[in-house]
Amino acid sequence: MKKTVAIMAGAALILLFATVMLVFLPYVQLDSEPVPEGLEPYTAQELRGRQSYIANGCLYCHSQQPRDPGFSDADRMRGWGRASVPGDYAYDEPQLMGTMRTGPDLFNIGARQPSVAWQLLHLYDPRAVVPDSIMPPYRFLFEVVDEPLPEHTVVNVPPEFRQGHGVVVATQQALDLVAYLLALDHTYPADVLPEAEEAQE
Amino acid sequence: MTPTITFLLILTFIVSVGGLLVLVWSIATDQFRHGKRAARTIFAPGEVGQEEDPAHEDSPVEATGAPAEAEFEARRIADTSSRTPVLAWLASAVAWLAIGSIYGLIASLKMHLPEFLADDAVLTFGRVRPMHLNAVAYGWASMAGVGIAIWLVPRLFKTPLVGGRFATAGAITWNIGMVLGLAAIGAGFSDGEEWLEFPWQLDLFFVIGGALAAAPLLLTVRNRTVEHLYVTSWYLMAALVWFPVLFLIANIPNIFPGASGATVNWWFAHNVLGLWVTPIGVGIAYYLIPKILGKPIISYQLSLLGFWALALFYSQVGIHHLIGGPVPGWLVTLSIVHSVMMAVPVITVAINHHGTMMGSFGKLKTSPTLRFVWIGSLMYTVASLQGSIEALRSVNVITHFTHYTVGHAHLGLYGFLSFILFGAIYFAMPRLMAWEWPSRRLISLHFWLASGGILVYVVALSVGGWLQGLALIDGSVPFMDSVRLTIPYLEARSIGGAMMTAGHIVFAAHFLMVLLRRGQRRERPTLFRSVASEVAS
């Protein structure tokens, strides 16, 4: 029994050590990072859109973390923006940094594609605007009506991409999601992490 | 910032001194004395040299005199003492494997056929993909691992399982969590972080289910009749301590916002691999390879060294998922160093597993269990060394954000872990059910579909992912080119995935046949019967 306890206690201690290094210390350090002045909290609508972004798993193909030009210059050249800093994520709960770039980085998509009409059409059928895109269509975020009401946001879908007979209108969910995408604009200036130079080795 | 650096320096110094003291203490108190004798703990007296392989048609029947006979009878009782809980965990695992691979195949097809099943929110790529991951990681791998662990406990401690009904209740609880969790993801209620998608309210089912599964291990260890705890039990006990702590900390809602949430996310996600499924897989192989061959592992001291090295190094590798990301440089460097240091435990395991196999490779032809387990162990070596290299900044800048990582993940979780679990299930089921696998053909079909499938899968994604990475870091290449060039590789991945899925359906059907005792009854069940006179070899 003594041996059993020793093994389990040793295992627990090592994990505790790793937790201090990888969870506690970064938390202390990142928590004290300044929030950039240009960063605004999300509105209620943007937060609803953010939930849609999570629910439909956008994060599995899109990152939200442009890399430092010293590490990989391509992000800057593609216009994806400056390298992100911890403070940029101050209002992100949970963070949606992502690990895949099957699609482009979205950290500054609101600055790159500020048109609501483009975003809605792209969500309805990505291939209507990007011919070879492999992004799934999100037609379930839209409705087809015979006669749009004044409060409807009509999406002008080219006939060859339209499904069903009638006029395509955006649901509130689609509008919220687009509001969130347009809020992804981190073009304000921010200080880089002091260790960033070190990280470029 | 300066205080943190100072603190880190002091901490590093204290830890190094502490490590030195532990080393001095362990040499002084002769902690490394366990040698050949400890490695033989898993054998009955006189059993060394006897092969044990219930999935093998012409398995030689074990019996070598009176003392062994008593021990074989005890082992038979031990083996069947865990029947209900083990079957509950294993049967659920096989069902989740079949379900999870179908989700995986749908997700894979959607990568190159974006209009496939696109009109239903439940089946959109962004929901099917996490459903695949959670079904195979928590449903298949975790449940099969727990099932095999519970089955090994009485064998390792040489005493019948105590408190098996807790584990059965644990399987039911865990399954409820799985069903509700997958339904929640399908309905769009994901927590939004990879590996942590299940809504945190439902995580309680896994905490309780896991604790219930651990109960029999702790109850049984008190009755053990073995003097030395074999290395497999070290791995299993440690995994049991680690998973609940990890799962609990990572799932507490609302305490790690923003960028620190990302470090917690990857600390957890890589530790699920490193401190949960890896110890289970490696531990099982440490038992099965010597047991099937009837040879003790070649260096027992090394196996214990490897255990502590794994604990120390694997627990800190997680942040290599954030190289180039908005986290402090020291943290990333720490994880890279540990990722490279992982070569130490990996090589110790490789020496033991492959070294024990030396001279017995011919048995791979006849023993399906050994074939699965050893290939799994070989893939552990390959995937781990690949992971160490992948963590280097110069390599990671290419592979990060690409399909290459997905190929690596499958090499680890499928090529390594799932293969070992397949082998272990082929080994355990005939013992549990007193019913042999009805068809060697089906085992063979499963083997070739699984190995062919994973080969196509990993090769396609490694090549495709690497090319994608090269295109991504070249800012003069239009982004869409990096998408277009991956299409043929993604199609090849679907072919590999379809083969694996077909293999799983064969496996599940075969498993069901044993569970229901279908098929032809073998004249000579290769159980622990002393019928040496009949064999008369």
Residue B137 above 90 pLDDT? yes
Per-residue pLDDT at B2: 56
Give the pLDDT band of residue A84 (cuts 50, 70, 90): very high
**Lowest mean pLDDT across A54-68, B212-226, B503-517:** B212-226
Per-residue pLDDT at A89: 94
Four-residue CA torsion sign, B321, B323, B327, B330: positive
**Looking at CA atoms only, how far is residue B100 from chain A in angstroms?**
17
Per-residue pLDDT at B28: 80
Alpha carbons B186 and B192: distance in angstroms, whole number: 13
Per-residue pLDDT at B62: 45
Phi, psi of A176 (to 5 degrees): -65, -45
Q: What is the mean pLDDT of residues B218-226?
A: 87
* B262 contacts on A by Cβ (under 8 Å): 89, 95, 97
Give the pLDDT band of residue B58 (cuts 50, 70, 90): very low
What's the pLDDT tens digit per position in B184-198? 999 999 999 999 999
Q: Report yes or no: B187 and B221 within 8 Å, Cβ to Cβ.
A: no
| Among B80, B189, B162, B165, CA closest to B428 | B80
Q: What is the mean pLDDT of residues B508-525?
A: 80
- Nearest residue in chain A measured CA to CA from B307: A11
Taking the Cβ of residue B14 and every Cβ of chain A, the question of whether any pair is shorter than 8 Å is answered with no
Tell me which of A139 and A33 has the higher pLDDT. Answer: A139
What's the pLDDT tens digit per position in B145-154? 999 999 999 9
Per-residue pLDDT at B63: 42
Residue B527 above 50 pLDDT? no
Per-residue pLDDT at A44: 97
Most distant CA pair in chain B: distance in Å? Answer: 78
How many alpha carbons fall within 13 Å on the CB side of residue A196? 18
Q: What is the mean pLDDT of residues B349-369?
A: 89
CB neighbourhood size of B84 (10 A): 16
Q: Calculate what percentage of chain B has a pLDDT beyond 90.
A: 67
User: How many contacts (CB atoms, under 8 Å) link A and B?
Assistant: 254
A-interface mutation test, from B7, B241, B243, B481, most A Cβ less than 10 A away: B241
Most distant CA pair in chain A: distance in Å? Answer: 77
Alpha carbons B188 and B121: distance in angstroms, whole number: 8
Per-residue pLDDT at A175: 97
Per-residue pLDDT at B54: 67
Four-residue CA torsion sign, A13, A15, A18, A24: negative
Residue B315 above 60 pLDDT? yes
Per-residue pLDDT at B32: 67
Give the pLDDT band of residue B513 (cuts 50, 70, 90): very high
What's the pLDDT tens digit per position in A154-190? 999 999 998 888 899 999 999 999 999 999 999 998 8
Most confident range, picked from B211-215, B226-230, B457-461, B518-522: B457-461
Q: Do A91 and B258 touch (CB under 8 A)?
A: yes
Q: Do A97 and B238 touch (CB under 8 A)?
A: no
Q: What is the mean pLDDT of chain B?
A: 89
Residue B167 above 50 pLDDT? yes
Per-residue pLDDT at B48: 81
What's the pLDDT tens digit per position in A20-74? 889 888 888 888 888 998 999 999 999 999 999 999 999 999 999 999 888 889 9
Residue B309 above 70 pLDDT? yes
**Looking at CA atoms only, how far is residue A35 from chain B in angstroms?**
11
CA B88 and chain centroid, separation: 18
Q: Give contacts of A 104-123 with B, CB under 8 A.
A: 104
Pick from B260, B405, B480: CB nearest A31:
B260
Alpha carbons A114 and B193: distance in angstroms, whole number: 27
Burial level of B122, CB count in 10 A (0-12/13-18/19+)? middle
Give the pLDDT band of residue B57 (cuts 50, 70, 90): very low
Q: What is the mean pLDDT of residues B408-418?
A: 97
Residue A118 above 90 pLDDT? yes
Taking the Cβ of residue A63 and every Cβ of chain B, the question of whether any pair is shorter than 8 Å is answered with yes
Q: Do B124 and A136 touch (CB under 8 A)?
A: yes
Residue B1 above 80 pLDDT? no
Q: Report yes or no: B394 and B340 within 8 Å, Cβ to Cβ.
A: no
Helix ranges, B272-299 (H): 278-293
* B324 contacts on A by Cβ (under 8 Å): 65, 67-68, 71-72, 199
Residue A199 above 60 pLDDT? no
Per-residue pLDDT at B222: 86
Helices (H) and strands (E) in chain B, counts: 22, 0
pTM (global) more than 0.90: yes
Q: Calculate what percentage of chain B has a pLDDT beyond 70.
A: 92
Per-residue pLDDT at B399: 96
What's the pLDDT tens digit per position in B373-411? 999 999 999 999 999 999 999 999 999 999 999 999 999
Long-range contacts of B4-10 (CB under 8 A, 24+ apart): B4/A25, B4/A28, B4/A29, B5/B330, B7/A25, B8/A25, B8/B330
Angle, alpha carbons B290-B293-B299 (nearest 5°): 35
A-interface mutation test, from B256, B317, B404, most A Cβ less than 10 A away: B256
Q: What is the mean pLDDT of residues B64-76?
A: 69
Alpha carbons B331 and A75: distance in angstroms, whole number: 22
Q: Do A127 and B483 touch (CB under 8 A)?
A: no
**Lowest mean pLDDT across A108-122, B132-146, B204-218:** B204-218
